Amino acid sequence: MEGAARLRAGASKWDVRQQVWDYLEASGLAAFPRPVHHRIPNFEGASHAATRLLSLQEFKAASTVKINPDAPQKNARFLTLEARKTLLVPTPRLRTGLFNKIVPPSGATKEILRICATSQGVKEYSVPIGLDGKARVDLVVVGSVAVSEKGWRIGKGEGYADMEYAMMVSMGAVQKDTPVITIVHDCQVVDIAEELLDDHDLTVDYILTPTRTIKTDCKRLKPQGIIWHKVSYEMLGKIPILKSLRYREKQAGKDVTLKDEHPGLANADKPAALNEKATAENTRPQAATGSAQLKQQYVESNSLSPRLEGSGVLTTVYVGNIPPSTRVSELKYVLREIHATPLRLNWQGAQHRAFLDYKDKAAAESAVSSLKGLSLGGNTLRVELAKNQRNKGQVEINSQK
C-alpha cells in the first residue's frame, strides 16, 4: 500500500479492510460519504479512474453493463449511459430483487444522465428486471475495499457482490469469460494472501485506478453459482429473490440444502400433492384424504373473514396466469419453499388465479419479489399487489399449518 505500513504477516480479511479504511481517512484521500469505514470507500480521483473504462476493448464491445450502486462507481454508471449502453444496477442489499435497468428519458441531456447515475436517479429512472428478464451481462463492474494485482478481491464483508455474481451465474446472465472490473484508489491495491480467499469470493480481471489500468490475468475460477450450503436461513429471509432461485434450482434437481437446514425438512422435497404424509398433515384435523373428501376442507366465502377484514392491516397479493391443471397444494408448496406462506390463501382455480393475504404491506411486497419470475406448469406467474381483483364466490383455503 503506497505510503502506508505493510500489511502484517497473517493479516485477516478484516485486518486488510481496517488498514485500507484507516489509511484513506488519515491520508485525506477519503471522499463523501464519510467515514469510509464499513463501506465500499469513495476516494479522491474515483471519477478519473472510471474514465479508464473508455479505453478498454471489453467496455467498447459491451452492450449491457452491470455496475454496483456505490459512490466510487457513479462516473462509471454515467459513462455507460452516455455510451448508450444498457446499465443494470443491483438493488441495495438485494432486498427487492436483483437488478434495476436504468431507463433515461427520451433525449436525456448529460445533466439528466448524471442524475440517472446517482442513487436517486436509480429510483426515479429504473425498472426492475425479474428472473425471466433474460438479462445477458457483457461486463461487470464491482466495488472493492482492497484488491491485489493478481485479481484477489476483498469487499466490505457482507458478501453482496459475491452473491450478486453467483445469482447472475444461476440466471445465465454471465458466462465464465464475462470480464469483471473494479475501480479503486492506488492505495487499495495491496498484497493479499490467496489463502484468505474462499470458493465463493469473486475475483477481478481489471483494476482501474487514477494512475493505472491493471490487467490481472487471474486464472482462479470465479463462483460457478450459488453455494447453497454456505447460505443461511437468515440470508434467505433477507434476499427474497434468493428464495425464488433456490426453488428453481431445487426443481432442476440440484442440492440446495442450506448450511443451517434442519434434517427434519426432508419431506419438503416433494409437493404436498405428491406426498401423502405431507398432504395429510396439511389438512384440518379429522379431514380424510382423497380428492372428494379433500374438498370438504374448502369453505365457500364471499369475502375475508370479519376478524381479518376488520383488522385494516392485511395486504393482499394477486397471483394470476396459473395453469388450469395446477392444484392449490402445488402453489402452497411453492409458497412454503420460498418462505412466503400467507396468513390465508384464497384459491380461484377456475379463473387461474389466487389471492394471498399477508399481515402487512412489507410482508406482501417481499412475497411479490419472491414470486416474480416463478413458473408453474410452464406458465410464468403474474404477481402484483392486489387492487380490486377479488370477486365474489371465491374459495377460501387455510394455508397455515
Cα gap 146→165, rounded to integer Å: 18
Higher pLDDT, 132 or 230: 230
Q: 265-397: which CATH architecture?
A: 2-Layer Sandwich (3.30)
Dump pLDDT digits (tens) for 170-180: 888 888 889 99
Higher pLDDT, 125 or 98: 125
pLDDT at 55: 96
Mean pLDDT across the stretch 93-121? Answer: 85
When pLDDT is cut at 50, 70 and 90, the band that residue 9 belongs to is low
Contact residues for 192 (Cβ-Cβ < 8 A; gap 6+): 16, 146, 147, 148, 150, 152, 154
CATH of domain 13-215: 3.40.50.10420
Which amino acid does the sequence have at 137?
V
When pLDDT is cut at 50, 70 and 90, the band that residue 337 belongs to is low
Here the contacts of 325-330 (C-beta below 8 Å, separation 24 or greater) are: 325/377, 326/376, 326/377, 327/273, 328/354, 328/397, 329/271, 329/272, 329/273, 329/279, 329/282, 330/271, 330/272, 330/273, 330/376
Contact yes or no for 370/130 (Cβ under 8 A)? no
Cα gap 114→306, rounded to integer Å: 51
Of 308, 310, 292, 298, which Cα lies nearest the Cα of 348?
A: 298
Strands 146-147 and 139-142, by their bridges, are unpaired
Higher pLDDT, 329 or 274: 329
What single string gives the DSSP state of each residue in 189-231? Answer: B----GGG--TT----SEEE-SS-EEE----SPPP-S--GGG-
Continuous segment of H or E residues that includes residue 384: strand 382-385
pLDDT at 176: 84
Dump pLDDT digits (tens) for 138-190: 999 999 999 999 999 999 887 777 888 888 888 888 888 899 999 999 999 99
Mean pLDDT lowest among 30-39, 213-222, 360-369: 360-369
User: What is the total residue count of the chain?
Assistant: 401
Contact residues for 109 (Cβ-Cβ < 8 A; gap 6+): none
Report the percentage of the chain scoring pLDDT > 70.
78
pLDDT at 350: 85
When pLDDT is cut at 50, 70 and 90, the band that residue 102 belongs to is very high
The cell 364471499 sits on which residue?
Answer: 302
Higher pLDDT, 223 or 209: 209
3-state secondary structure at position 375:
strand
3-state secondary structure at position 29:
coil
pLDDT at 258: 86
When the pLDDT of each residue in the chain is averaged and rounded to a whole number, the result is 78
Quote the crossing angle between the two packed helices 361-371 and 240-251, to the nearest 10°: 40
Q: Where are the domains of the chain?
A: 13-215, 265-397
pLDDT at 282: 35
Mean pLDDT lowest among 9-13, 78-82, 255-259, 273-277: 273-277
